[in-house]
Structures are given as C-alpha cells and as structure tokens.
Structure 1
Amino acid sequence: MKKNLLIVLLISMVAILAACGGGDKVIVGTDAAFAPFESLDGEEIVGFDVDLLAAVMEEAGLDYELNNIGWDPIFPSLKNGSIDIAISGITITDERNEEYDFTRPYFESTHMIAFYEGTDIKTATDLEGKVIGVQTGTTGQFAAESIVGELNPDLQLFETTALALAALKQGNIEAVVTDIAVAAEFVKNNPDDNVQLVSDAENFEAEYYGLMIADGSELKETLDKALTTVIEDGKYAEIYEKWFGTSPDVETLLNQQ
C-alpha cells in the first residue's frame, strides 16, 4: 500500500515538474511562406525574422518554440492563447493595435508592384484595369484595395504571397502588390524573367513590422528591451546584411515607437 502511494506521489511530482517546464517555453507562430522573412528549407524554418527572433529570445533569456501555423490562424491563435508571439512580417496598424499589442518596430517596409516586362505600370494608379494578386488579410491587399476598390473583381486573393507570385510567373495575373523585400527576393530568384518593380511613395506609405503579442501581454516589456539591445549592439545589422545584402537605417528604426 505504501509502495503504491509512493509511486502515485512520484508520478504526480513528475507531472507537476513537466507542466512547470512546459509553461516556461514561449510558443511563437509564423507563416513560413514569406521569403526572405520566413520560408521553409526542407522542414526547417529560415529567414530574417527567424534569425532576429533567435537573437531577441537569447537576449531576453527566453526558451521558445517556433511553429509554422499559416497566416490566417495567427490572429485567433494569439487570442485563444495557443501561441504567445507572432512574427511573420506583420505590419503594425491602428486596426491591429485595437486588438493586439506589438513590440517596438523592427523593420521598415513599403509596398512594391511586381509585374513582367510588357505590362504598362508606372505608378500604383496604373493597377486599375489590371488583374492583381495579393495575399489575403495583409496590408498588401489593403494597399491594392485603396487603388482599385475593395470589391474589384480583378483583385485576386491568395493564401500566401508565394502563391500570388507563382500565379504571376504563370501568367494568370498581371501584377502582385507585396512588401518591398519580398518583391526584391522574387526578382533575385528569377534573374532571367524580366520582372519589373515599381514603388509609389504617394500611394504606398512606409510601414513597420513588429512582433505581435496578445493585448496586455506581460512579454511586451521584456521583448522591447531585448529588441532594443539587439538593434543597438550591432547584432540586428549583421542579420539584416545577411538577408538583404545592405546596411539597415538603424537610426530611423530606433526613432520609431
């Protein structure tokens, strides 16, 4: 009887310790279809966001697990607590700030129009009358809608930006509106395809990415402090140069709140 009681107590203690250990791990969600920020190399998630996350979590002293859960599930997963952090080239917007919290910005971006030579696009207004591809639920979609209208039948929605760019390559659509670094990566990976890129500062404003967390999350202060350190100590620049081949404007980034 005493032996059985001891076994039960040992099992209970192991369960408690396991639960405590699991609770210390921060779960991070991403959509690994947004190169060069995050993509799959075999089964491994790689990219700028991935390396930056590793540096920030190391600086913060946090154990974490990064999972590829897709774009649409990111938002409800933060709401229901399935994940603690989301990192996936997520633009900080007023609308998102109403429901979620963000860390300080870690990347400055703008939108680009990607298209093939022979398509007449000089500014964003030239998207009118073109068949356009965007990733659903992204600021790329919202930027395109601001030009051609929300219910425009020529605006095609894709689950990922990679699928939109594949449709462009196959000739199924005429243009893709996406983030500048993603568009540049597409050009780099298709050097013989005569891909053209157009920016439009008048219609596409600068925007900033942040790590997204649940509204009121206690992680914000810790992540902000770690992210600031990573930016200031040069680690951010190393990661940026690795993935983009240029030096970041750290001063502008640090001035953003």
Structure 2
Amino acid sequence: MKLRQLGLIAGALCAVIASTTLAADKPLQVATDAAYAPFESQNEKKEIVGFDVDVLTAAAAKSGLHLKFVNTPWEGIFATLGTGDRDIVSSAVTITDERKQSMDFSDPYFEAKQLIAIGPKSKITKFADLKDKKVGVQTGTTGDEVVQKLLGKTNPNIKRFESTPLALKELLNGGVDAVVADNGVVVNFIANNKNDKLKTIDDASFAKEYYGFAVKKGNKALLEKLNKGIAAIKADGTYAKIYKKYFGN
C-alpha cells in the first residue's frame, strides 16, 4: 500500500476519533419549564436557575455528564423526549404510573404533596370545600388531576393556567377561590408576596408525591448514570446542602 494511501486512512481514522470524542462531549439537552420557582426559573440574566437545576447539575457531574438546560413550555414538554429534541426532562415532574407508561424516571430526588392556597378572608378549611368553587391549577399537573377527581374532568370551575404563579396571581385578583398546586411552589410564592397574606391548607387527603428526572422510554444507560449521580450527591452531603439552600432545614 502506498504511503499516500496510508496517510489518507490515518487521517480518516483521526477524523472518526475526533468526531466520536466530540459526540461524547456534546451536552445533553435538558427540558425545563422555567416558571416554577424555586425549582426552576430565570434570573435577571435569563439564566435558568433553581433547586432542580442544582440537583441535576451536581448529579450529572458525578457521572461525567454535560448538560444544557433549555426553557421548554410545560405543555408538550414530555413529547420532546420522544422526538429526541431533549434527553432529560427536569421540571419538578411527579412520578406517576400513567407517566411511567410513556417515559422512564430516575430515582426520586424530592418529596412533595399538594397544597391549597386561599385568600386571607376565605372560609375554605378543607379540600372537600372546593366542590362548588372556582379552582386554579396548572394545566397537566398533578394538581390538575387531583382537582378533576373532586370536581369532574370537564367541570368549568376548573380554571387552568400555563404556570402555577399565574394561577396564584389570579387568586390574588379574585378570579378563582383557591389554587391547588405543589407545596414547594405555593410556599415560595407566598413567601415572596407576604403583603397579600395568602393562607394555605394542607389537607390530609393529599398523598405524598415524588419528583424524578424523566428520560426517553428504554434509555437505561442514561438512567443508570443519573441514578448513580443522585446516590452519590446524597451520600456525600451535596444534596443536603442544596436542599438547605432552597428550603432550609
């Protein structure tokens, strides 16, 4: 074989190796609906920040994964896994049996439950009191599902919004009588709007929920790396530090 041919083959092999390395270093696309503080939101610089961002970034680092967070509307966010536009959905996603049918989840990284927000003069004392009330929820969330079970799936008194903060603002404006949503988001909103004096109800009927990072169905390799990372940050105290940063002790 001529030297020139050998040089061409060697060059081609180098190109393949470089291409493979580049692909390996290519960041995973992470879908997140950045309107759900303190889990994910945008700061003044339009950077995506929050509890979920910190946890996933720390876990990914333990497994050598590189990430790029992309602000993605909640409605249709899971479809991005199937199309390949996103590799991970990290957006305070509750693990449910229904969702498990179309996607896979990492091990849980946060325990949550639903919480009812009401105005300062409201007479509502429990979840059952919402039966004949106008209730705000974020479309497609577990809060939406919980309220549907009480009021009925097509009940016009269920007022759906693109985000929980929008639903809570509607509560402040008197457009709904209550809002049902994840506790972390409700508590964070009230803490940042103390003058409005919203109250919360923790109803005994609400079950515990767990958040997980979602990946495309069957992507076991990525799932194993995520779980390895989650376990590592829980073991070395990193997770506890992140939790304290957003929620205290």
TM-score by length of 2: 0.90
- Correspondent of 1:211 among 213, 218, 229: 213
Distance 1:164-1:22 versus aligned 2 partners, 3 A rule = farther
| Distance apart, 1:36 and its partner CA | 0.5
2:200 counterpart SS class: strand
User: Where in structure 2 are the equivalents of 1:184-199 lying within 5 Å?
Assistant: 184-199=187-202
Amino acid at match of 2:28: V
SS at match of 2:85: coil
Query: 2:172 and 2:59 mapped to 1: Cα distance?
Result: 36
C-alpha change, 1:118 and 1:71, in structure 2 (3 Å) is same
Residue 246 of structure 2 is aligned to residue 243 of structure 1: yes
Report what 1:35 is aligned to.
37
Give 1:186's aligned amino acid: F
- Structure 1 gap segments, 5+ residues each: 1-5, 247-257
1:149 aligned onto 2:152: yes
Partner of 1:165: 168
Which has the larger displacement, 209-218 or 13-22? 13-22
Partner of 1:84: 87
Residues 76-131 of structure 1: CA deviation (Å, up to 9, x unaligned): 10011111111100000000001100000000000000111111211110111111
Aligned-residue offset at 1:73: 2.8
2:35 and 2:209 map into 1 onto residues whose CA distance is 20
> Structure 2 counterpart of 1:149, which letter?
G
SS in 2 for 1:134: strand
- The amino acid across from 1:28 in the alignment is V
The residue number in structure 2 matching 1:177 is 180
Q: Is the 8 A contact 2:165 2:189 kept in 1?
A: no
Task: Give the C-alpha shift of residue 68 in structure 1.
Answer: 0.6
Q: 1:51 to 1:190 in 2, by over 3 A?
A: same
How many angstroms does 1:22 deviate by?
A: 4.3
1:194 deviates by 1.4
Match in the other structure for 1:221: 224
In the TM superposition, residue 156 of structure 1 has moved relative to its aligned partner by 0.6
Q: RMSD across aligned C-alpha pairs, in angstroms?
A: 2.1
**Distance in structure 2 (CA, Å) of the matches to 1:236 and 1:144:** 32
Moved over 3 A (4+): 13-20
**CA shift at 1:193, angstroms?**
1.2
Residue deviations 1:46-91 (CA, integer Å, cap 9, x gap): 1100111111111111111111111123211001111111110000
Structure 2 unmatched runs, 5+: 1-6
Q: CA offsets, 1:130-151, max 9 Å, x none?
A: 1111010110100111111111
Matched position secondary structure for 2:28: strand
Check the 8 A contact 2:60/2:225 in 1, yes or no: no
1:64-103 alignment to 2 at 5 Å?
64-103=67-106
Question: In structure 1, how many angstroms separate the alpha carbons of the residues matched to 2:102 and 2:141?
Answer: 16
Determine if the alignment matches structure 1 residue 112 to structure 2 residue 115: yes
The alignment covers a number of residue pairs equal to 238
| Residue of structure 2 aligned with 1:140, choices 131, 139, 143 | 143
Q: 1:130 to 1:15 in 2, by over 3 A?
A: farther
Cα displacement (A) at 1:178: 0.4
- Secondary structure of the residue aligned to 2:70 is strand
